[in-house]
Amino acid sequence: MIKSLLIYVVSFAALFFVVLHLQHWLLEANNQSVRFSYYDTNIFFAVASALICIHLQLFSSIKSLQPQLGYIYLPTLFIKGGLFFFSFQDAVFALENLTVSERLCLLSSLLIFLLLEVFFVIKILKQNTPKILS
């Protein structure tokens, strides 16, 4: 279990640095800027997704929770959205109109970290799915 937890942390940290530098490079190359800290939004998405995967892995070790893991995961998407709103209410949601580059920064970060999160969640759920005998 420690190995899988370490894999989650390293994977999300590596993806964070790749996404951060890629966004920085693209913004510089296109002479664009964003009015919020994309470092902070990226760190939020990386940490939130990593914590979801870590908690789901820990819950999977509890025998009574194994059949409920999918139901445990579903509300985390709404919780993450709510926490993002409250965390960045002044920085992002106070802006009247977001530019295309600002929207792309937020959406690309959200989708990239969500893809890795879903990849790990599927692996966790597959490990804990009972095998049906045919």
Mean pLDDT score of the chain: 92
Contacts from 5-11 at CB under 8 Å and sequence distance 24+?
A: 5/54, 5/57, 8/50, 8/53, 8/54, 8/57, 8/120, 9/50, 9/54, 11/116, 11/120
pLDDT at position 132 over 60: no
Q: How far apart are CA 17 and CA 125, in angstroms?
A: 27
Q: What is the pLDDT of residues 38-84, one digit of tens each?
A: 999 999 999 999 999 999 999 999 999 988 999 999 999 999 999 99
pTM more than 0.85: yes
| Contact yes or no for 80/34 (Cβ under 8 A) | no
Q: What are phi and psi of 37, to 5 degrees?
A: -85, 105
